[in-house]
Structure formats: C-alpha cells, structure tokens
A = this chain, B = another copy of it.
Amino acid sequence: MSEAEVSGAELSGVEVLGAEGYGPAAELDARDELAAHRKDFVLDDTVYLDGNSLGALPCAVPARLAEVVAREWGEMRIRSWSESGWWQAPERIGDRIAPLVGAAEGQVVVGDSTSVNVFKAVVGAIRIAQADDPARCEVLVDAATFPTDGYLASSAARLTGATVRAVRAAEMGDAAGPATAVALVNHVDYRTGELHDLPAATAAVHRAGGLIVWDVCHSAGALPVELDASGADFAVGCTYKYLNGGPGSPAFLYVRRELQPRFDSPLPGWTSHADPFAMTPGYAPAEGATRGRVGTPDILSMLALEEALKVWDGVDIAAVRAKSLALTDFFLRRVRAYVPGDRLRPLTPQAHERRGSQVSLLCDGGPDGEHAPDAETVMAALIARGIVGDFRRPGVLRFGFTPLYTSFTDAERAARALGEAVSEA
C-alpha cells in the first residue's frame, strides 16, 4: 500500500460518500494492511488519540513483566544479571530500536530519560566540535523545541563555556556557521506536529562544520527516521510515545559509529566502563554504544519496553508512514466538514513532507478572536465523549495518530465529536 494509493482512496471515498456514517472510514479500515496490528494492543471503546504522549499497552507486556518479576527477580534474583541477560539489556534493546530510526546495530543504547540523554549528546557534541576547532562555542537550539531540550542544552553550554542561540528549525542550516559547535533540533515539533527535514538540515549544519543532535521523540515509530543515511551525529528519543514502552520508559541515545571513539560522556557511570567489574578508581570508557550508559539499568521498565517493541516485528515503517498520512489527511478533511466556521485552525502543515503523525488544531476565532473556543474546555468535552487527545497551552488541541492501532473509524468519530464539542463550547 503506497502513500499515493491510500491518499487517493481516502480522498475519493470522502468525496463520494460525504460525512454521514462511518462508511468511508470503514471502507478505508477494511483496506488497511496494518489493521491486524490493532489486536496487539489493549484498547476499548475509547478513541485514543494520545499515543503521541503515552502509547497504548501492548497485549504481551503484562505477562512478560509478571515473568520478569516473579521468576527473574523473585526466584533467580542476583543471578539474573548474567543468566537472564539483564546486563546487556541496554544495548540489546537499543538494537531493537535501531531499525526503526534507520540505524545499523551497535549505535543505540537504552537508558535514562530523554532529558539526561540530551545532556550527554549536547556535551558530547560540543567536546568533539571544540577538539577540532576551539572557536566553535555556540549551541543552536530549535526555537520551538520541547522545553526540556532547551533547558538541558543551556546547562550543557553553561558547563562547557559555550553559548546558546535559539533558531527556528527550518532556518538551522542557514544559521550554522564557523562558531557553531552543535545544533539541537526536534525532528517533529511537539506542539504543531511539523516535520523538519532531517537529511537537509544535517547536511547544511555539516557544511558549516558543526554537529547535529536530533530529538526524535515525536518521530520514532511514526515515520522513517534515516539517521545513518543522513549522517546524523547524535539522536535522542523517548520510548513511551509511538514505541509504546510504558509511562516514563527509558529513553535512547544514538551516537554515529564514526563518532563513538570520540564520544566523551559527561555522565561516565560505572556501567559504561570498559571493565565495570574491575571496580578501578580510574575511568576507562567502553567502546561502542555502551559508552552512552551511565548507572545500573532499570530492568523492570527496560524489559517491559523490550516486550513492547516486539509489535514491530515484520512491520514496514514505510507502510506506517503511508497510513499515518492517510489518517491525518482524513482527519483534517473530516474536521473541516464537522467543525463550524474558522474556529479551529490547523497548525500542522498540509504538505506531507512537513507533517508528522499528529494533528494540532489551534482554537481560534478569526482575526478578532472573539469566537475562539477554550481548548481545555473542548478537550474535556471530547474526553467526556470518549475521545482522548490532549491540549497544550495556549489553545492547542493535539491528536496523535498511531498507525499500528488507530483506525479511520477512530478518526471519523473524533472529528464528529470535535464538531459537537466546538459547537457547544
């Protein structure tokens, strides 16, 4: 199922059948080659469009986690560090994530939070850039970044004597210059759902002699992320959104293979040591992805994530992308049909190449703003109708589309309820 096929089918279906009933949606669902994956998740009558914040529970996780607790911890206890493969979990699970972000094995390690990984990556990148050219003392930060990235980048800069400059993601390539150590960019904007051009920005920053760190929290598992192919230097991402790892599940760090020997982590914990059980007072970093580890890995969360990742076995990320675009196209069209006037303005770009896997709608009232519905009120009304998205101040309704389990019927129901909620707001 190519992107063009889905979009074409969706468009003609809508045009012919109009907004009544779930007919067009049901037809699209019937032709959805990913539809069978929905049964891999615990779902109910709720239309869950918040998988971009917390992914739904994969059905296999509870039994696996129960086994980890009862057998591996409860019965085997300390032996599990070797006999149950706990010690190698960060690299092993990293290798499960790798193909989803376009990385060959041995470059992704799982552990810590996204925030902590941003810190490792930005300090690591600054150190490499400055080793090559001490004049590179500026960190460019996506001006619309999810805030934690900016906070940690500022801390990294402060601790390394660098400075920070906010730059719009789309202008990152132009902004990079001889003073640029590193650019930190969100692949998909958490607020608007805008997708940035990872290969182009990477190439532009490289041409200026800088390094680039990508935050792929809102793209990993939702669309192709071509880290290796684009030559990205570092990437960080979370696993609890489109990767369905569970609330606050461990994040991941990608360090391009060629840079690994030069990666000088600011958090050199004992599990990143070349010989951790020698317990030597001097630090000597391990080779490869292991160098990105810090402390003792958080096994319960990690092994829940490992099981959750099995839903991706055999899934083609290109098919995921095709369905994602078909879903967001369909939803945007249905919103236009159901929501009166100009009261919701899409912040998410119409162009496919600039759209992530969410739709963000700004509660707006036209030029005078007088009819703007309150986003929090609208979202509460939606939730009361069994439609779960979320909102971000000020005034943004967010709807995440997770192609492994979101259906076109979900999108139809959500748009219809949104029309009702806005009319009442």
Contacts and interface: CB of A to CB of B under 8 A. Distances in A.
Contacts of A270: 115, 146-148, 151
B116 A75 contact: no
A77 interface: yes
A240 to B, nearest CB: 7
Contacts of A240: 296
A41 to B, nearest CB: 9
Contacts of A75: 42, 44
Nearest to A56: B77
A155 B388 CA distance: 44
A50 B73 contact: no
A54 interface: yes
A296 B248 contact: yes
Contacts of A393: 277-279
A203 interface: no
A40 to B, nearest CB: 13
A-side interface size class? 35 or more
Interface in A133-182: 143, 145-148, 150-152, 154-155, 159-160, 166
A57 B240 CA distance: 26
Given A155-B268, A279-B392, A297-B248, A69 B78 contact: no
Interface string A256-289: 0000000001111110010001111101000000
Interface in A223-282: 238, 240, 246-251, 265-270, 273, 277-281
Contacts of A65: 65-66, 69, 300
A296 B113 contact: yes
A388 to B, nearest CB: 6
B294 A115 contact: yes
A329 interface: no
Given A160-B159, A247-B299, A277-B393, A116 B294 contact: yes
A81 interface: yes
Nearest to A276: B147
Q: Shortest 10 CB-CB distances between A and B: which pairs?
A: A113-B295, A115-B295, A115-B269, A148-B270, A247-B299, A57-B74, A248-B298, A159-B159, A42-B74, A151-B283
Given A73-B246, A123-B159, A248-B300, 4 more contacts: A62-B74, A150-B281, A150-B283, A154-B283
12 contacts: A54-B77, A57-B69, A62-B66, A65-B65, A78-B388, A78-B390, A147-B273, A155-B266, A191-B279, A247-B298, A247-B300, A301-B301
